[in-house]
Amino acid sequence: MSPSVEAEATPSPEVNQRRVSAGGSRSAGAEREKRKRSRVTPDQLVHLERFFSMDRSPTAARRREISELLGMQERQTQIWFQNR
C-alpha cells in the first residue's frame, strides 16, 4: 500500500477530535444542573388518554387549552401527544 493511500484510510487525530467534540461534549453541559423529568399524574393521564381518543393530533390552540385545563406546560402536552 502506498503512503498516500494509507493516509487517506487512516483519519488524522485532528479528525477524530473533531468527531468527538461534534457529538456534544459533556463538560459544557456539566456546568448546568440537569432538569428533573416532570411526570404526568394519574389524573392528568386519564384526561390525556380521553383527549387522545377524540383527537390523535390536536392543534396548537387545542394543546394550549388542554395544558391550561390540566395544569401542564404546553411543551409537556405536545411531547405527550408526540410520544403517544
Domain residue spans in the chain? Answer: 3-83
d(CA 71, CA 81): 16
Residue by residue, pLDDT tens for the chain (84 residues) are 555 555 555 555 555 555 554 555 555 556 788 888 889 999 999 999 999 999 999 999 999 999 999 999 999 999 999 999
Q: Which amino acid is at 46?
A: V
Q: What is the pLDDT of residue 21?
A: 47
CATH code for the structural domain at 3-83: 1.10.10.60
Instruction: Look up the pTM and report it.
Output: 0.59
Q: What is the pLDDT of residue 36?
A: 86
